[in-house]
Amino acid sequence: MSDIVRETESILQKCELCPRKCHVNRTAGEKGFCKTGDKPFISSWGPHYGEERPLVGRHGSGTIFFGNCNLGCIFCQNYPISHSEEGYEISFEKLASIMMELQNIGCHNINLVTPTHQVPMILRALEMAKGKGFSLPIVYNCG
């Protein structure tokens, strides 16, 4: 594991990933405003055609919708994903494998939707995927 991944994961022990700075220890099972622990938590993933045309191309944007959120916007377009804890926890290996599958089916990029509260998990999975030949551009798609 690289130093940057290790350093970013250490932030979870006194979480300051977003401006709310909950200071909970997510590695010990505590959860702050985002209601997310220390493992990837996603709602869905797959080729997505609902973004701007340059992102979608012919084969879609390889979108990973992360569950929960650190914002709490009243008029959120992804309310069921962001506020209702809809989704499931997956392993780092599974997240890396999703990235590889989206690349293998021809998606033009990996579109991380609502990623801020899960950056350490994403970085670890990206490092794993890169070791398997992952090379797509990343879209950091947040509110």
Supply the DSSP symbol for 35: -
Q: What is the mean pLDDT of residues 3-27?
A: 94
pLDDT in tens, 89-138: 999 999 999 999 999 999 999 999 999 999 999 999 999 999 999 999 99
pTM exceeds 0.75, yes or no? yes
Q: Quick one: 74 exposed, middle or buried, by C-beta within 10 A (0-12, 13-18, 19+)? A: exposed
pLDDT in tens, 23-80: 999 999 999 999 999 999 999 999 999 999 999 999 999 999 999 888 878 787 777 7
Q: How many CA atoms lie within 13 A of 15 on its CB side?
A: 27
Supply the DSSP symbol for 5: H
Beta-sheet pairing, 61-66 with 41-48: antiparallel
What does the alpha-carbon distance between residue 99 and residue 122 come to, in Å, rounded to a whole number? 10
